[in-house]
Amino acid sequence: MNRFGHTIFYVHDVKKTVEFYEKAFGISRQFIDETGQYAQMETGSTVLGFASLALAKQNLKRDFRPLSKNELFGCEISFLTRNLDKSIATALKAGAELIAPAEAKPWGQTIAYVRDLNGILIEIGTEMDCPVEDEKGSSCGCC
């Protein structure tokens, strides 16, 4: 059985991207390799990685279209927060671009969208309301 291990985005500048995510979202780097071509962030059981465009060309050996700051693409990173307004403000101060302001969603979450310095779309959202209650009316703690 397979296990989801990494999400890797190919970016123009790995070090600048890592520094942006540290400032904008308060996550720390796990490591940057000695060549500066690859880095991983400390994000829990699934790794968020950034690799250089040069490494993409080396790994893929075919035409490759890099991310663009001028268009959105069909993928996002999602961060959960307890203080949405503060998280949005911190991301914007670090250089993120606001794409969509905070909006309450029918599934019990409030989300906003920003874009990073590479053009990566990022959802910042509140935790979802827990749909499961025990016999005493307490939430299960799963959400």
pLDDT digits (tens, 9 = 90+) for 50-83: 999 999 999 998 888 888 888 888 899 999 999 9
Of 57, 69, 45, which Cα lies nearest the Cα of 118?
Answer: 69
Give residue-wise pLDDT tens across range 81-90: 999 999 999 9
18-37 pLDDT, tens per residue? 999 999 999 999 999 999 99
Domains, in order of start, for the chain = 1-64 (3.30.720.120), 67-143 (3.10.180.10)
Lowest-confidence region among 7-21, 75-89, 101-115, 128-142: 128-142
Q: Edge to edge, what strands does the sheet with 76-81 contain? A: 76-81, 121-126, 110-115, 97-104
CA-based torsion, 59, 61, 9, 28: positive or negative: positive
Predicted TM-score (pTM) of the model is: 0.85
